[in-house]
Chains A and B, each alone.
Chain A
Amino acid sequence: MAESAAPWVRVTDQPLDVGALLDRVSGPDAGAATVFVGTVRNVNDGRAVTGIDYEAYEPMASRELAAIAREAVERWPGVRVAVEHRVGTLALGEASVVIATAHARRAPALDAQRFVIETLKQRVPIWKREHYVDGAWSWVDPTASSGAPVSSEGDAGLERPA
């Protein structure tokens, strides 16, 4: 496997291009490539979701994504990694995160993929606010037992501070 280029990471408010990220890691030397796409799901904790706002602490979010991608390359030498996370308002089915990996062999490609998504969810300073069909919204707290919001909820029309 050719020496890995520096992993590609980006936080963007533009729609994510799955094909473009796969192209970044693919190559004739890579017998295996993987793509993970995280999308906005229509229900969470029994509540019907209509959309999600993602907020990031930049530049720290990009920095942590880059660190995680570099760690994947260190643990699985030869793997290529590309990650993009979207911020802003996303509708049902839209992709919030896309991770592409490639390696000569499938085991490192798959293992690196799993590592990146699991680690990203624990470390990257990004938050998500779900909007529900009744007009209410709430920030998701992944540490709450049900994954339900804890600290801040509101109704449609509630202004967030500038």
Chain B
Amino acid sequence: MSQAVAREVTVLAFAAYADRLGWRRRTVALDGAATVGDVVAQCRLLPGGSVLPPSPLVARNARFVALAEAVEPGDEIALMPPVAGG
């Protein structure tokens, strides 16, 4: 019998978001979540989640995406504060 892919994604948090959430990496179950925005909404319910603004900068598999982007099991979602490099 083939092994099903667990219906979950990996979420990464950076900088000020990681500080307030208390984690840099965690697994989030896709309970009915269809978009990156749904995953963000789930994260906003976690302790410290209020640090996430209504429309945070997000990446899916290391590419910037809109919150409406469809999410799939195994994806890596990044929650990013406004970038401050250079």
A→B interface (CB under 8 Å): 38, 54-57, 59-61, 63, 85, 96-97, 117, 120-129, 139-143, 149-152, 154, 160-162
In the bound assembly, the distance between CA atoms of A122 and B82 in angstroms comes to 9
- Identify which of B19, B64, B78 gathers the most chain A CB atoms within 10 Å of its CB: B19
Contact size class for B?
Answer: 20 to 34
Query: Which residues from 12 to 29 on chain B have a C-beta closer than 8 Å to any C-beta of chain A?
Result: 12, 14-24
Whether the Cβ atoms of A142 and B84 lie closer than 8 Å is: yes
- Apart from A142-B83, A161-B21, 4 more pairs, CB < 8 Å: A54-B85, A60-B62, A151-B81, A161-B23
| A139 CB, nearest partner CB in chain B, Å | 4
Known: A60-B59, A139-B16, A152-B19. A127 touches B85 (CB 8 A): yes
Majority-rule SS of A interface residues: mixed
Q: B32 contacts the other chain (Cβ, under 8 Å)?
A: no
Query: Out of A55, A57, A117, A139, which one reaches B59, CB within 8 Å?
Result: A57
Whether the Cβ atoms of A154 and B19 lie closer than 8 Å is: yes
In the bound assembly, the distance between CA atoms of A54 and B15 in angstroms comes to 9
Query: Out of B15, B21, B59, B64, which one reaches A127, CB within 8 Å?
Result: B15
Instruction: Collect the chain A residues with CB atoms within 8 Å of residue B12's CB.
Output: 57
Could you list 21 examples of A-B contacts with CB < 8 Å?
Answer: A59-B62, A97-B85, A97-B86, A121-B85, A125-B14, A125-B59, A126-B86, A127-B15, A127-B83, A127-B84, A140-B84, A141-B84, A142-B83, A149-B16, A151-B17, A151-B19, A152-B15, A152-B16, A152-B19, A160-B18, A161-B18
Known: A125-B78, A152-B51, A161-B22. A61 touches B17 (CB 8 A): no
| CB nearest to A162 among chain B residues | B24
Q: B66 contacts the other chain (Cβ, under 8 Å)?
A: no
Majority-rule SS of B interface residues: mixed
Whether the Cβ atoms of B19 and A124 lie closer than 8 Å is: no
- Identify which of B14, B24, B81 gathers the most chain A CB atoms within 10 Å of its CB: B81
Whether the Cβ atoms of B19 and A55 lie closer than 8 Å is: no
In the bound assembly, the distance between CA atoms of A143 and B81 in angstroms comes to 10
| B8 CB, nearest partner CB in chain A, Å | 20
